[in-house]
Chain A
Amino acid sequence: MGLDREWMRGAAPLAVMTLLAEGEMYGYELVEALEARSGGLLDMGQSTVYPLLYALEKRGHLTPAWRESPTGRRRKYYRLTPAGREWMAEQQSQFERLVAALRRLGEGGAADPEPAEAP
């Protein structure tokens, strides 16, 4: 079972940036890694990944470079820019705060059959 469209839209940039933070990657590699390492949850097609990469590139978070790969095929590799790195750190921190907050909300009312009233 995959993510809702809205979640995906929110998570995708961060997911891509997170992978690229480990080192440069080309599009196909990125798609495969997203699927494999998210257990299929962040399975994105080209129709999502490339527009996203171009958008991040336009915002200055990524920089691309065409290079010959070890197999001899020319590929377009993406890597983070310093600004991208900063943005990613900021996003990650926001995300962690969000998850923590949601979790706290959940812990408070998980046992109750009815939603808890605000104190």
Chain B
Amino acid sequence: MSRHDLPPALESLVRDTVEASGLTGADARDVAEELRTHLRDALDAGRSPAEAAARFGDPEATGARIARARRPHPPMESHGRRRGGGRGMGLETLVTELRRAVRTLRRAPGFAALVVLTLALGVGANTAVFTVLDAVLLKPLPYHEPQRLVQLFSRWGGPGSELSEYLRAPTIRAADGFDDLFDGFASIFTYRETGRDLLTPGAPPERVVAGVVSAGWFEMLGVAPQLGRSFRPEESTGPGEADVDPTPRVAILSHGLWQRRFGGDPGVVGRTVDLSDESWEVVGVMPAGYLDPLGPRADLWIPQDLRSGGSNGWSNFYLTGVGRLAPGLSLAAAQDRFEAHWAGVVEADPDAGDVDLVLQPLVASVVGTRRASMLWILFAAVGLVLLSACVNVANLVFARSLARDRDVAVRGALGSGRGRLVAHLLSESVVLALAGGALGLLLGWVGIDALLRLAPDALPSVAEPRLSGRVFAFSLAATALAVVAFGLAPALRSARTPAAAALRAGGRRGTEDRRLRRVRDGLVVAQVAVALVLVVGAGLLLRSFDALLSVPLGIETADVLTFEVHLPGSRYPEGADRHRFHTELAERVTGLPDVVATGSTSWLPVNGRYHSWGIQWNPDGGEELRDGAWENSDMRIIAGDYFGALGVDVIRGQGPGSVDPDGEPVAWINASLAAEVFGETDPVGQRFFAGNAMRRIMGVVEDVPHDVRGDTFRKTYLLHAQYADNRNWALTHVVRLRSGADAVAVREAIRGELAALDPALVLYRPRSLDSLLDSRRAQDRFATTLMGVFAALALVLALVGTYGVLAGAVAQRRREIGIRMALGADAGQVRDMVLRSAVGLVGAGLVLGAVGAWWGGRWLSSLLFEVAPADPAAWGVGVGLLAALGLLAGWLPARRATRVDPARTLGAE
């Protein structure tokens, strides 16, 4: 006869007793076998398992007595305290209880694994998302007293209008003089093409990103160079006139560049380096980990020329301004004081007054409001996953505590104190929660890595998420919460269960049972509700992302390769030289196999607004410029067959290919500009003022969006051939390949052509247009992917929870089902009974979840693109999925119920 013949409750009595005795090996087996034989004999003699258990006595006390009887030196702990019912719960008791709990759980590996895994998933996902949230939103910016840092914005069009980061050089100078307002005010160059080609002997030229900052930038942030010095005031505002007198050529290296290109040599300070064929003196090195709050990730910094004259007048908006408020100054007070000072500036110089200036906390610019709401929403979502995980665990523990009720009741009846019982049950939860928390922390660690890999472009550059003590504390707190949530309630409930009720034959306790079932039902309802919220949320984001992918961009993005080439002003001083170079390069590239068309532009589509300038058109044909008649338009400088390479259609007039660039100045405009500025008038052939000259409009092209959401703005296209002298344009070449061509091979061939033309130049940022689009969609993809993962987790948890409760209910109601079947109910009716309760639970969960999802959807709407929070598809799929899941979870227990054999069930009583 096998030992498995004993009912589980009796088997557990035997095991607990042997464990409490501390015996091992053959001794333990001997005692266990003897006790089992005894219980089998009792059952054979007609005693019920309950009676057999009641007569067995308290396993702990018995185990202790056996230990005293069989072992030469009984363990100290088994004296007194055990018999006394455990009023005192010292550390010793705690350790004993925890050790016991580990032993007990080892005997239920399936249960333990399920609970630990469920908790780990919840805690792990929480840790990962919280780490990112912490790094991006909660941790202060990595500068001295960052709450005092503000950014100054321009605003055209009164309160509520959009803020623009662009400021003018005189504004920066003036603000830096408001000494009672700012402890330092400085600027960083707003435009993004601030690279230089770094040439060091024996290494290929490297394109490095230069941060152009005014003197005082680092002091304002409260960061000092690790080596050397920062910029001196005269290096920004020294004698002479901007654009006329030379500026000091001094540079500060980033820690990364210093290590990478100079081997971390401390002697680098004072040396000169070759930047785009000019000699610059290295005056300092910034510490490791320093990052500018705004702007691109710089490899080195050079001083911004803030001297008056030249391009530093009141009409040139090109700088971003950041200041440190004087201590104790609130934002509102600072704004008031700023306006008071500014009124004085405008009085002295009326040109200054055509724009409002607004202060905002710097952190808002660094994080971005949309990104902040995305992270909070994801955090709420992952919190729901943890909640669902805890509910699931509570359910599992409830089920287990039900199965052990009688065991607990016996102990209670035999005099174990209530505190001891609670400790006993709670200790199991503590062990589970600790294991789940630890594994969760590990998963979180892996998860952070995965998140960062998923979204290099979705997070601000200044945030460097690292698993910190704060995150660990959070994870631990979440785990502790889970312990309380799922551990204490069942423990108290079990300890409260009257022993007599638990011991009554068959373990059926009407009122208690119903109450317990209601609690478990409630948990399932909550789980289904949480799952619906997450599934609908994920559905909405998925629909939104789908809409994003299908935005008509007006360009053909497949098989397009782009790269930049920057020409050093020292070797290509004249616009004509630079244009000749770009033309020659384009001709060579066009001659390569697999290349269909080439062109170039000053700024790619879908890459944000850039170079927003004013244009003027006089419907009367006059060519005099008038005050206040400016219209805004983004400027794009193009060369070659740019429209053809991108697939932009010329919808009226002619394309650039048939225009003689040596003739009169010309321009093309997009459909938006044509409609909004020219209205009914046909713009083709009209002359307007754009790019510092009167130009004739040769054609109208279709709109091309400047972001992946399909937003478009007015655009004016000028020919590089006619405008190369304006500045050293950083042209991005656009190469259309034959469909299916090997882009890597073409890229390498282009590299060869470039080296043949000028070996000191860098093929900078070669990438496909599709990869640019991908990076612009990173934030949306990030949110969608995470929400999808969370929803999937919640679905699985809800499935497990619903199944567990229904299966448990069927097991509990075997007798009732047996009676019903004995009284003539057929299998179909029994199955329907179980399925009805499944439908009831899932239905209630769906109703509750619908309320939550409706509320959450409104919150989510800030992230949604062309999808309403009430989107029928997302809701339909969500509700359908959960309903199907409910039926699935109900089906198996229902089938099991129909197999209940009335004769055997009732006979067993």
Contact = CB atoms under 8 A, between A and B. Distances in A.
Do A and B bind?
yes
Contact of A45 (B31, B56, B69): B56
B69 A47 contact: no
A26 B37 contact: yes
Contacts of B45: 32
B62 A51 contact: yes
B1 A45 contact: no
A46 B35 contact: yes
B466 interface: no
A38 to B, nearest CB: 16
A58 B67 CA distance: 12
Question: Chain B's interface: helix, strand, loop or mixed, by majority?
Answer: helix
Nearest to A74: B37
A55 B71 CA distance: 9
Given A50-B31, A50-B35, A73 B1 contact: yes
A93 B33 CA distance: 36
B62 A27 contact: no
A21 interface: no
Given A50-B31, A76-B34, A28 B42 contact: yes
Question: Most B CB atoms within 10 A — which of A28, A46, A73, A74?
Answer: A46
B80 to A, nearest CB: 15
Contacts of A58: 69-70
A4 B816 CA distance: 44
Interface string B263-298: 000000000000000000000000000000000000
A46 B38 contact: yes
B113 interface: no
Contact of B69 (A32, A55, A74, A76): A55
A72 B44 CA distance: 13
B57 A46 contact: yes
A54 interface: yes
A14 interface: no
B62 A50 contact: yes
A85 interface: no
Question: Most B CB atoms within 10 A — which of A50, A55, A75?
Answer: A50
A27 B33 CA distance: 12
Contacts of A54: 31, 66, 69-70
Contacts of B65: 47-48, 51
B55 A45 contact: yes
A52 interface: yes
B37 A76 contact: yes
B407 interface: no
B41 interface: yes
Contacts of A28: 37-38, 41-42
Interface string A96-118: 00000000000000000000000
Contacts of A73: 1, 37, 40-41
For chain A, the bracket of interface size reads: 20 to 34
A109 B30 CA distance: 52
Interface in B55-84: 55-58, 61-62, 65-66, 68-70
Given A54-B66, A55-B69, A47 B40 contact: no
Interface string A10-36: 000000000000000011100110000
A76 B30 CA distance: 9
B481 to A, nearest CB: 40
A110 to B, nearest CB: 37
A51 B70 CA distance: 8
A51 B78 CA distance: 14
A12 B69 CA distance: 14
A80 to B, nearest CB: 17
Contacts of B69: 51-55, 58
Nearest to A31: B38
Nearest to B55: A45
A53 to B, nearest CB: 8
A51 B61 CA distance: 10
Contacts of B1: 72-73
Contacts of A50: 31, 34-35, 38, 62, 66
A35 to B, nearest CB: 10
A75 B37 contact: yes
A35 B630 CA distance: 111
Contacts of A51: 62, 65-66, 68-69
Contacts of B41: 28, 73
Interface string A58-92: 10000000000000111110000000000000000
Interface in B23-58: 30-31, 33-35, 37-38, 40-42, 45, 55-58
Interface string B1-29: 10000000000000000000000000000
A26 B33 CA distance: 12
A18 to B, nearest CB: 19
Contacts of A53: 69
B37 A46 contact: no
A77 B253 CA distance: 89
A53 B413 CA distance: 25
A46 B31 CA distance: 11
Contacts of A27: 34, 37-38
B506 to A, nearest CB: 22
A26 B57 CA distance: 19
A50 B65 CA distance: 9
Nearest to A27: B38
Given A52-B69, A58-B69, A58-B70, A47 B61 contact: yes
Given A51-B65, A73-B40, 15 more contacts: A26-B37, A27-B37, A27-B38, A31-B38, A46-B55, A46-B62, A47-B56, A47-B58, A47-B65, A50-B31, A51-B66, A58-B69, A58-B70, A72-B1, A75-B37
Interface of A: 26-28, 31-32, 45-48, 50-55, 58, 72-76
28 contacts: A27-B34, A28-B38, A45-B55, A45-B57, A46-B38, A46-B55, A47-B57, A47-B65, A48-B57, A50-B31, A50-B38, A51-B62, A51-B66, A51-B69, A52-B69, A54-B66, A54-B69, A55-B68, A55-B69, A58-B70, A72-B1, A73-B37, A74-B33, A74-B37, A75-B37, A76-B30, A76-B34, A76-B37
Q: Which 10 A-B pairs have the closest CB atoms?
A: A47-B57, A51-B65, A54-B69, A28-B41, A47-B62, A55-B69, A51-B69, A45-B57, A28-B38, A54-B70
